[in-house]
Structure 1
């Protein structure tokens, strides 16, 4: 018995979604590897005084990459609107791969810092673009879990970075770890050949025939035409985030993202070093990185399903509260097994809490404004990402490493408050809209 046309079309649509998510997943895997590799090799750099590196300088270097990510995230939406999301992803992968090569050959801290800054630009531009891309092709009602699946790649990259450091630093040296981060350059041509372009971009550029053919072939809903965007239109998309009552909601998301990324990148940069300060050997400290990122993968899958059912902002607020508790407990001396459990649970909640902010913004946005909304939410959060590594370095340099966990825990409470208020406002606005519709219907 042959399958019905609708079932066949649905299967094609599912295959397309898997293709897009799969390619974006690999790109984000390499993003995570490049991002986490610095934190994984940092204890070795400090122990061997490579480049004469001190704790406060190490914090500055961590902030260079996140500053580059700030630039990349803030410009991603605008550049994607001009050249397309597919091309931007290829450019970003190429950029952070080549920049890692610069770090591998660096002879002084200045060149190394330049390499990390350039890598950050590519890393920052890739993530919001990949999120927007998979949102375009996500099955109806499955956007949050699709984004969650995508973000597991970032933590898989973190796990890979820890193993790269464990396997290569002692026998070969820290530079070999950065040479591994150049290998994604081989993936860029694959991405260019196999990844389909964003449907909303094709429609916005007037390439409606191409978009319609792709949508029909794979049973994907074609976005409504929004017209070709000029520079003024792209600026208007940003201004639109502040029109009416949206300005407060936008700021709430930005403040929550600031705290979330301060936590994510502060902990990612300093977790192995802070654990070494607690008395653990380097191999054990890197094992904590693996466990933390395994928790991140589990958290993405759990949070994605929970967010599709209960709402992404509610899950994000709860997850940030649990993150604050977990991070605070990391500063309490416990046996290694219990510490491992706390690290795992902190990874579960911390990483997915931030991702659910992105999911909330992506779901609430229209297709033509999604890249701008997600890019600027990520970009504003990057100020926190810049501040987190710097803060950890300053606390360690002052001999107050134990306060690092407390400071990060307070940041978790900060994000919980802002995303929690955003959730309450969304619920209130939804109730008001329902009341207005009922009132209109009664007349």
Structure 2
């Protein structure tokens, strides 16, 4: 095919799908990095001779930095082009990865991971607002479903890449290599992450109004709390019942792999049949599954349960985001997304510690029952929301 033919093909693509691809690329990098770092921690522990609590602080620093930057980056994204918020964040992340690679102490590394989290956190409120601006309400479920497959692919590739890097080279070289995808994402979002030709200058800037998003935010927070706790301790449960690390990793990867298909399907169904029905159905099905996992050790029933979790709990995420998008005005959409994601991530960052404590003093079954109750609470919170209500832009 000639270059002219390639240009003709690009010209025929709808701009909104080019923007969606640009956002997908950066979101993939975001999860690629966040899911690679845990695999590097054992080597870091050996070099710096630190306790497990310091390893926990490293991941908490990354997550906390990510949460803290949500609200300010969202507010800025409502006042300027989204790429002007995302790109500086990616630059900050890249600099932090360089700093992490040359860290001479665990304290410096914790600070670098905190900084990396601050940089990565600028993406989500700006990008979700950008996607919502390009896609009409009846298309957003599918659009967000496609976008969220990036998190699933990143969740699969990240641990594999991190494991290979630390095995073949070392954790410092791993930090250096993880810098490269971030650098590649910068020109993609800069040149392809364009704003729609919509004049919102006449729209009155509003403060974040809690009432219409209060219950959806509660659903989102409870769902993310359950998701983070389950994904944190599923591998350790599997190794506890006799699986080796490799087999546990393969079983874990089933969930994000399945969700690559399930997320856009769930989003598309929510466009047709309504967000509330789809979210409630997915959450009510997934709620007991994490608890049921603790009753099985054979790989066949565990595989079935994990496939179902990937098809339900993971798939509910983009539909909840679409629901929130439907209920907020365009003039402060990014700021609101930043607020919602910050609340969810702050609370979710506490659940691994709480669930780990339950495992220490009781057992996995009680701990995973608690996770199921979180997801069940998210499902019943959906009953407090008017499923037919939609906010016009």
TM-score category of the 2 structures, normalised to the smaller one: 0.7 to 0.9
User: Aligned partners of 1:404, 1:74: CA distance in 2, in Å?
Assistant: 31
The correspondence of residues 76-91 of structure 1 with structure 2, limited to 5 A, is 76-91=73-88
The correspondence of residues 23-422 of structure 1 with structure 2, limited to 5 A, is 23-42=22-41, 44=42, 51-138=48-135, 141-191=138-188, 193-199=190-196, 215=197, 222-226=198-202, 233=205, 236-238=206-208, 241-242=209-210, 247=211, 249-396=212-359, 398=361, 400-422=363-385
**RMSD of aligned C-alpha atoms?**
2.8
Paired residues of 1:39 and 1:272 also in contact (CA < 8 A)? no
Pair 287,102 (structure 1): closer, same or farther in 2 beyond 3 Å: farther
Paired residues of 1:80 and 1:129 also in contact (CA < 8 A)? yes
Paired residues of 1:38 and 1:269 also in contact (CA < 8 A)? no
Unaligned runs of 5+ in 1: 1-10, 200-214, 216-221, 434-443
Structure 1, 150-159 or 12-21: larger mean CA deviation? 12-21
Instruction: Output the TM-score relative to the length of structure 2.
Output: 0.87
Structure 1, 390-399 or 338-347: larger mean CA deviation? 390-399
Unaligned runs of 5+ in 2: 1-9
Per-residue CA distance 1:173-218 (angstroms, 9 max, x = gap):
344443332112322441354124423xxxxxxxxxxxxxxx3xxx
| SS of the residue 2:78 aligns to | helix
Pair 351,129 (structure 1): closer, same or farther in 2 beyond 3 Å: farther
| Map of 2:21 onto structure 1 | 22
User: Aligned partners of 2:274, 2:315: CA distance in 1, in Å?
Assistant: 13
Instruction: Output the TM-score relative to the length of structure 1.
Output: 0.78
User: Aligned partners of 1:182, 1:37: CA distance in 2, in Å?
Assistant: 12
Pair 369,115 (structure 1): closer, same or farther in 2 beyond 3 Å: same
Paired residues of 2:152 and 2:260 also in contact (CA < 8 A)? yes
Using the TM superposition, give the Cα deviation of residue 85 of structure 1 relative to its aligned residue in structure 2, in angstroms: 0.8
Paired residues of 1:55 and 1:393 also in contact (CA < 8 A)? no
User: Aligned partners of 1:278, 1:114: CA distance in 2, in Å?
Assistant: 36
Pair 388,127 (structure 1): closer, same or farther in 2 beyond 3 Å: same
Pair 336,136 (structure 1): closer, same or farther in 2 beyond 3 Å: same
User: Aligned partners of 2:251, 2:296: CA distance in 1, in Å?
Assistant: 15
User: Aligned partners of 2:13, 2:235: CA distance in 1, in Å?
Assistant: 40
Pair 125,390 (structure 1): closer, same or farther in 2 beyond 3 Å: farther
Indicate the structure (1 or 2) with the bigger Cα radius of gyration: 1
User: Aligned partners of 1:275, 1:327: CA distance in 2, in Å?
Assistant: 12
Using the TM superposition, give the Cα deviation of residue 154 of structure 1 relative to its aligned residue in structure 2, in angstroms: 1.0
Using the TM superposition, give the Cα deviation of residue 332 of structure 1 relative to its aligned residue in structure 2, in angstroms: 2.4
User: Aligned partners of 2:237, 2:76: CA distance in 1, in Å?
Assistant: 38
Using the TM superposition, give the Cα deviation of residue 78 of structure 1 relative to its aligned residue in structure 2, in angstroms: 0.8
User: Aligned partners of 2:47, 2:367: CA distance in 1, in Å?
Assistant: 23
Pair 284,16 (structure 1): closer, same or farther in 2 beyond 3 Å: same
| SS of the residue 2:155 aligns to | helix
| SS of the residue 1:237 aligns to | coil
User: Aligned partners of 1:270, 1:391: CA distance in 2, in Å?
Assistant: 11
Using the TM superposition, give the Cα deviation of residue 45 of structure 1 relative to its aligned residue in structure 2, in angstroms: 5.3
Using the TM superposition, give the Cα deviation of residue 402 of structure 1 relative to its aligned residue in structure 2, in angstroms: 4.5
